Structure 1
Amino acid sequence: MTASPRWDTPADLTRPTDRRGVPGSRVEVVIGVLTFRRPDDLAALLPVLLEQAAEADRPDRRVGVLVVDNDPQASAGGVVDELGSPLVRYVVEPTPGIAAARNRVLDEADGCTFVVFIDDDERPRPGWLAHLLRTQQETGAAAVAGAVVSAFEGPLDPWVRDGAFFSRRRLATGTAIDVAATNNLLLDVAAVRAAGLRFDAAFGLSGGSDTLFTRLLAASGARLVWCDDAVVTDSVPSSRMTRGWVLRRAFRSGNSASRVDLVLAGSAPARSRARLRGARRGVPRLAAGLARWLLGCVVGSAAHRARGLRTACRGAGMLTGSFGVVYHEYRRAGAVPVAGS
């Protein structure tokens, strides 16, 4: 396969690092890309990441790219080989599930200073990596999350458009947060190691392992902040621009949220209280969503109908998740869910 990047050489990994930029120290940054049978997306992303790496590279800082292929058939290997960059390293993680792939990034980055996660179907805007690193340096945060905006493969179904389903939060740079996704996230490796965190394999095929991970990181006392200047564009294919996909994602989101609360609860009595909280949150959302959908039918509002159904689906997901039902959004043929998932 391809040659190892500079950040992965023994000399670099044994070089002392300091996140405060002490003169003479070396900061090692690895951009982790998870991929599964999307060679065209990966081929388009990697040259952009190399541009970002070159822009952020300094004498006291080295940046490399790590591709973790979750396909046991190593289908992305040819893309990396064809690129032929010594700054891009390729490994295969055969265990199915996004949690296993995320953990492989953490394992491969052992000894590095920062890990930056990005999805293979995203494209970073100019200055993306530099903004993440600058915000971390200015705040000392253990995690820095950036903004994600959507670009669509074709025209949106009016129902999906009116429901504003692909609108994501935007916050002022430096705003404290307590949860984040890994589709645009910088992590301080030392802070992660100190907290003893891994991505939970029980969420590997259902999604939500990044929600649990970052909530645990925040609960450990680590600081998480937002960087609104670090923007990536999410390329949304036509298969995700449908009513069905939107409603399934809403259900999964609610389902994972309740399951995360159960894990965070800890003790059996606390889990019982978390189940009741999940039911108290889910049932009103389910009822209010259906009421809003009905209102939309009466007054002829596509926005009310769309948002009402999404709210109802999220509420149903929260209700089922609070009682242990798991929706495996990413389940593959032949993949066996982890016990308890």
Structure 2
Amino acid sequence: MSTKNVTVAVLTFRRPAALVAGLLLMLRQIEALAEDASRGYTARIVVVDNDPDASARDVVADLDHPAVDYVVEPTPGIAAARNRALDEAWSSDALVFIDDDERPRAGWLDALVSTWREHGAAAVAGRVVPVYPQQVSDWIVDGGFFVRRTLRTGTRVAAAPTSNILLDVQYLASRGLRFDARLGLGGGEDTMLTRRIVRSGGDIVWCDESVVEDYVPEDRATPKWVLQRAWSHGNTSTNVDLALAPTPGERHVIRTKAVVGGLGRMAAGAAQTGFGAVSGSNHHSARGLRAMFRGAGMTAAAVGVVYHEYAKARRSEAPMGTSDVTDSTV
């Protein structure tokens, strides 16, 4: 079996402390490869800094590690940064994405690579588990907003976020697949790419043994942030559907379904919120509100509204993340 070359990409935007913590844990796993050639792959890290002021340069320089490269992608937006990572990994066999505010658990990289080699998949998606701040409201915990899915390893999925994913670089190259620059500031570029992988005949398989921890900052563990994110996800998912539709007729159908589905979610969410208020259930109150906001985002997209999530994130100096909140359709 030939030795594979793997590039791990960490996109960052003004998050030096979180970046260092994650890089140190990644390097432990990469350094272990040098002591065990039987694993059949080598790995390096590339940090893609989306800050034109190169604020992460000193962080990487201080590490002074031969397995870590640093580049600046000055074009604003997460799609541009992800495409820069693709360019940096073009001679590699696989590209792994992990967020700058995540920390990998032991065996994270081995599990992704092993599953990829076993299944010959175009992509492998791993698990993300939340780690809450010490002070967090019951509303956030009971709502389960940051809890992601878990599946049996080898399960095929139709789409996946890029918070913990391996992409087969040669598969992408052979089909001309890249992240859609039109979604650079709005988000959804990961969903768009992974859905295109499946449409082109590739498989995305799940790896439950590959786990990263998502450290939820205090400013995200709030009802305001969660509900805003729900609106954004509803808006983005519908806009991705519209972008993938090849004809005006299909786009009309998608808009109609988004209006009907969005209004339906708003009505169901209102009922669930009311039940939660009467029964004293934080879970139902929280999930109902989230459904209402997601439905509102879908309906807005149907009439042409596009929410630029990462334009706002750049103004508030938020990290280069992906789906920070569960992608449930509820």
* TM-score normalized by the length of structure 1: 0.88
- Secondary structure of residue in 1 paired with 2:55: coil
Distance across 2 between alignment mates of 1:220 and 1:52: 33
2:185 corresponds to which residue? 205
1:121 corresponds to which residue? 101
Please state how far the C-alpha of 1:207 moved relative to its aligned partner. 1.3
Task: Could you tell me which runs of 5 or more consecutive residues in structure 1 were left unpaired when the two chains were aligned.
Answer: 1-20, 335-341
* Structure 2 residue 174 is the aligned partner of structure 1 residue 219: no
1:135 corresponds to which residue? 115
Distance across 2 between alignment mates of 1:254 and 1:56: 41
Q: In the TM superposition, what are the counterparts of 1:149-298 in structure 2 within 5 Å?
A: 149-298=129-278
Letter in 1 for 2:17: D
Q: Report if aligned partners of 1:67, 1:89 keep a CA contact under 8 Å in 2.
A: yes
Letter in 1 for 2:28: E
2:82 corresponds to which residue? 102
Please state how far the C-alpha of 1:299 moved relative to its aligned partner. 2.8
Deviations 1:199-233 (A, max 9, x none): 11222112111011101111111011000000000
Distance across 2 between alignment mates of 1:103 and 1:276: 32
Distance across 2 between alignment mates of 1:182 and 1:160: 23
Indicate how the Cα distance of structure 1 residues 299 and 130 shifts in structure 2: closer, same or farther if over 3 A, else same: same
Q: Report if aligned partners of 1:30, 1:109 keep a CA contact under 8 Å in 2.
A: yes
Question: Bigger CA drift: 296-305 or 202-211?
Answer: 296-305
- Number of residue pairs the alignment of both structures matches: 312
Letter in 1 for 2:21: A
Percent identity (aligned): 51
* Structure 2 residue 284 is the aligned partner of structure 1 residue 304: yes
Distance across 2 between alignment mates of 1:80 and 1:205: 26
- Secondary structure of residue in 1 paired with 2:251: helix
Within the candidate set 33, 41, 47, 2:10 is matched to 33
Please state how far the C-alpha of 1:61 moved relative to its aligned partner. 2.5
Q: Which has the higher contact order (CA 8 A, sep 6+)?
A: 2
Q: Report if aligned partners of 1:56, 1:129 keep a CA contact under 8 Å in 2.
A: no
1:50 corresponds to which residue? 27
Q: Let me know the Cα RMSD of the aligned residues.
A: 1.6
Within the candidate set 64, 78, 82, 2:62 is matched to 82
Deviations 1:294-334 (A, max 9, x none): 22223332222111100111111111112221112221349
* TM-score normalized by the length of structure 2: 0.91
Q: Which has the larger radius of gyration?
A: 1
2:321 corresponds to which residue? none
Within the candidate set 310, 314, 330, 2:294 is matched to 314
* Structure 2 residue 310 is the aligned partner of structure 1 residue 330: yes
Letter in 1 for 2:239: R
Letter in 1 for 2:71: V
Letter in 1 for 2:114: R
Distance across 2 between alignment mates of 1:234 and 1:166: 9
Distance across 1 between alignment mates of 2:103 and 2:151: 20
Letter in 2 for 1:191: Y
